[in-house]
Amino acid sequence: MFQQEGTVIRTWATKGKGTEVKSKPCRRSCKVLGALRLDAVNPTLHFRFEKDKFNADTFGHFVEHIVGYYVHRGERTHLILDGASYHKKTQDWALAHPDAIEFHFLPPYSPDLNLIEQLWRKTKASATHNRYFPTLESLHGAIFRRFNRYQGNPASLRSLVDGWI
């Protein structure tokens, strides 16, 4: 999730003046499902914005989209997942399609092993930190533009993927 409320990180400022980052207290956020293809030459980002919440249904639709994309190319999908309950609830669907997809679960409490978590951090640092978003739509637009840049420029994802291949 990407929070509309501002996130402030270290930045440069004139000595003695500091900086001010506008922010209004709110609990609104953009919810995004994402997957990265581990390819040294052409890493690919797949993403989907969700309006309400993450659950087995929304995750299942996302997985079906990814599998459909790679099945048409004659490729089998391997998803590396954390222990979210909606991931586990979708496992039955994956087991029913063994030629198309296989789930691999990470050990509990291991966000450092989850590549998509690193992409979320990179996206927040480049698209949301030290920025003011007066509306949820403006936050959505900033995140969407960043993800489109990743898709249009796979080289920007190579630094993340290089350590995993």
Q: Structure pTM?
A: 0.82
Amino acid letter at 46? Answer: H
In 59-137, DSSP assigns E strands to 77-81, 101-105
pLDDT on residue 15? 78
User: Can you give the residue ranges of every domain in the chain?
Assistant: 26-164
pLDDT of residue 149: 92
Query: What per-residue confidence (pLDDT) applies to 128?
Result: 87
CB-neighbour burial class of residue 51 (10 A; exposed 0-12, middle 13-18, buried 19+) = exposed
Q: What pLDDT score was predicted for residue 29?
A: 82
Class of domain 26-164: alpha beta
Residue type, 116: I
Q: Which residues, in sequence order, are CB contacts of 63 under 8 Å at separation 6+?
A: 79, 90, 93, 94, 101
Mean pLDDT, 10 residues at a time, the chain of 165 residues: 72 71 73 89 90 89 93 91 90 91 91 88 88 88 93 86 72
- Hey, what's the torsion of the CAs at 52, 55, 124, 108, to 10 degrees? 150
Q: 31 forms bridges with which residues in the sheet?
A: 50
Residue type, 131: R
Rounded CA-CA distance 36/44 in Å is 6
